[in-house]
């Protein structure tokens, strides 16, 4: 059987030449910056990726260099937006970060002029970024990349038999407690039901009871699914909503998803571009949020159901904030008051907006109060923001 590109790399060796600050052994950890759907379609978007987004990511890279742990970057597919000629230029832009770059193939990375021939449709991607299936070690985690987009006329989500055989050959030699991260474009989970999609079950069966993380893009929104021994990280689009809004349609601001392994344990967070990693809360005073005018509302960036969100008024603890599901106020304000695009793009921006659960509200008891909001994530990290309500 033809091998599909098994590439096993010791991560510390990768860094010997380009990360002289990496003093830690590869067995102690890593930093991984995950970029969701970079997807430039026009020269203007490509220039913004190169001149605006890449420098902001570089700031994060430099912060991570100072930790002494190896750092790499993963793009979760749709590296381009049907613009095959941009692929080498996107690769060059990310390589300017001077860290290892990994990618997976997305539906928009298939050449739609060859939509009836899967092999030819994938040729540009493979020529630029290498095999669709790769495996590599970061710290104590084995990463594997998959092509889960079958492109014929349009596209469907599936993993073919050859890829499953490839995974089986790898897993045969792994210890039963080996953590595995599966990187691919389309999601493994139906986030409306919190259940695995049928096509992914053969892959999960091969992995058995190991700790498994799926790292995916495609949805352009942030979400986390916990299913038994499996966690899926759905990574929001790095550039906002299709380059036309600086916020994703679920309210997640422009940013990257950061995974950090320390002494064998994972932590993660969504990192806003141009902001400190401590920036995880955005709050609006009373009167600003539609249908919630009597409340202070906060957005918890990177939220999942393991977070807790509480508030205090003038130093008095008031308990948990009430969770609500709404359209993002900043996104809607941008669409209705700032965005100036052709009607078809404006309609796309409006239609893509949907309510999300990462919002919480509280009602102050006084017209003149100092409100402090405290959010604690699943790892016990605490984030606060304070505003004066008048």
Residues 320-354: tens digit of each pLDDT: 999 999 999 999 999 999 999 999 999 999 999 99
Please determine, for residue 10, whether its predicted confidence score (pLDDT) is greater than 80. no
Question: What domains sit in the chain, N to C, each tagged with a CATH number?
Answer: 11-272 (3.60.21.10), 281-389 (2.60.40)
**169-218 pLDDT, tens digit each:** 999 999 999 999 999 999 999 999 999 999 999 999 999 999 999 999 99
Please determine, for residue 133, whether its predicted confidence score (pLDDT) is greater than 90. yes
Please determine, for residue 275, whether its predicted confidence score (pLDDT) is greater than 60. yes
Interval 261-276 mean pLDDT: 96
Alpha-carbon distance 202 to 352, whole Å?
A: 32
Which comes out higher in pLDDT, residue 214 or 7?
214
- CA geometry: angle 70, 71, 75, nearest 5 deg: 150
**82-118 pLDDT, tens digit each:** 999 999 999 999 999 999 999 999 999 999 888 777 8
The band of 233, judged by pLDDT with boundaries at 50, 70 and 90, is very high
Share of the chain above pLDDT 90, in %: 86
Nearest-CA neighbor of 371 among 311, 306, 304, 290? Answer: 311
- pLDDT at residue 350, as a whole number: 94
Please state, rounded to an integer, the average pLDDT across all residues of the chain.
Answer: 91
- pLDDT at residue 117, as a whole number: 79
Please determine, for residue 260, whether its predicted confidence score (pLDDT) is greater than 60. yes
Q: Is 112 exposed, middle or buried (0-12, 13-18, 19+ CB in 10 A)?
A: middle
Please determine, for residue 9, whether its predicted confidence score (pLDDT) is greater than 70. no
Three-class secondary structure assignment of the chain = CCCCCCCCCCHHHHCCCCCCCCCCCHHHEEEEEEEECCCCCCHHHHHHHHHHHHHHHHHHHHHHHCCCCCEEEEECCCCCCCCHHHHHHHHHHHHCCCCCEEECCCHHHCCHHHCCCHHHHCHHHHHHHCCCCCEEEECCEEEEECCCEEEECEEEECCCHHHHHHHHHHHCCCCCCCEEEEECCCCCEECCCCEECHHHHHHHHHHCCCCEEEEECCCCCCEEEEECCEEEEECCECCCECCCECECCCCCECEEEEEEEECCEEEEEEEECCCCCCCCEEEECCCCCCCCCCCEEEEECCCCCCCEEEEEECCEEEEECEEEEECCHHHHHHHHHHCCCCHHHHHHHHHHCCCEEEEEEECCCCCCEEEEEEEECCCCCEEEEEEEEC
- CA geometry: angle 178, 184, 186, nearest 5 deg: 130
**268 contacts: CB under 8 Å, gap ≥ 6:** 233, 257, 258, 259, 260, 302
Alpha-carbon distance 317 to 42, whole Å?
A: 50
* Count of beta carbons in the 10 Å neighbourhood of residue 292: 19
CA–CA distances in Å: residue 112 to residues 76, 124, 133, 187? 19, 11, 21, 21
- pLDDT at residue 27, as a whole number: 47
24-45 b/e (C-beta count within 10 Å ≥ 16 → b): bebebbbbbbbbbbbbbeeeeb
Interval 370-377 mean pLDDT: 98
The band of 153, judged by pLDDT with boundaries at 50, 70 and 90, is low
Please determine, for residue 14, whether its predicted confidence score (pLDDT) is greater than 90. no
Interval 260-279 mean pLDDT: 96
The band of 24, judged by pLDDT with boundaries at 50, 70 and 90, is very low
Of the listed ranges 22-31, 149-158, 288-297, the one predicted with least confidence: 22-31
């Amino acid at each position: 059987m033809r091998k599909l590109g098994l590439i096993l790399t010791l991560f510390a060796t990768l860094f010997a030449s380009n990360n002289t600050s990496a003093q830690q052994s590869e067995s102690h950890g890593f930093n991984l910056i995950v970029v969701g759907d970079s997807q430039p379609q026009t020269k203007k978007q490509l220039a913004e990726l190169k001149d605006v987004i890449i420098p902001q990511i570089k700031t994060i890279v430099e912060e991570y260099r100072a930790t002494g742990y190896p750092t790499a970057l993963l793009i979760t597919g749709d590296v381009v937006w049907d613009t095959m000629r941009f692929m080498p230029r996107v690769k060059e832009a990310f390589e300017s970060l001077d860290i290892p770059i990994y990618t997976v193939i997305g539906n928009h990375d298939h050449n739609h002029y060859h939509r009836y021939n899967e092999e030819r449709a994938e040729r540009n991607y493979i020529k630029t970024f290498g095999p669709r299936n790769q495996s590599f070690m970061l710290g104590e985690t084995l990463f594997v990349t998959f092509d889960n987009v079958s492109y014929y006329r349009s596209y469907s989500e599936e993993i073919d038999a050859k890829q499953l055989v490839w995974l089986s050959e790898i897993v045969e030699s792994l210890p039963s407690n080996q953590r595995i991260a599966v990187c691919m474009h389309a999601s493994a989970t139906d986030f409306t039901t919190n259940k695995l999609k049928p096509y992914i079950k053969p892959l999960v069966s091969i992995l058995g009871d190991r700790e498994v993380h799926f790292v995916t893009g495609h949805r352009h929104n942030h979400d986390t699914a916990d299913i038994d021994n499996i966690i899926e990280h759905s990574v929001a689009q790095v550039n906002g909503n299709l380059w036309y809004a600086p916020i994703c349609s679920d309210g997640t601001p422009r940013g990257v998803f950061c995974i950090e392994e320390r002494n064998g344990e994972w932590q993660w967070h969504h990192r806003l571009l141009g902001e400190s990693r401590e920036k995880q809360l955005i709050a609006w005073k009373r009167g600003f949020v539609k249908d919630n005018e009597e409340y202070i509302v906060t957005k918890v960036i990177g939220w999942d159901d393991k977070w807790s969100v509480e508030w205090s008024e003038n130093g008095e603890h008031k308990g948990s904030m009430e969770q609500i599901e709404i359209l993002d106020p900043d996104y809607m304000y941008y669409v209705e008051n700032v965005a100036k695009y052709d009607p078809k793009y404006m309609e796309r921006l409006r239609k893509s907006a949907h309510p999300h659960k990462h919002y919480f509200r509280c009602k102050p008891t006084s017209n003149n109060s100092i409100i402090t909001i405290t959010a604690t994530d699943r790892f016990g990290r605490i984030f606060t923001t304070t505003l004066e309500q008048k």
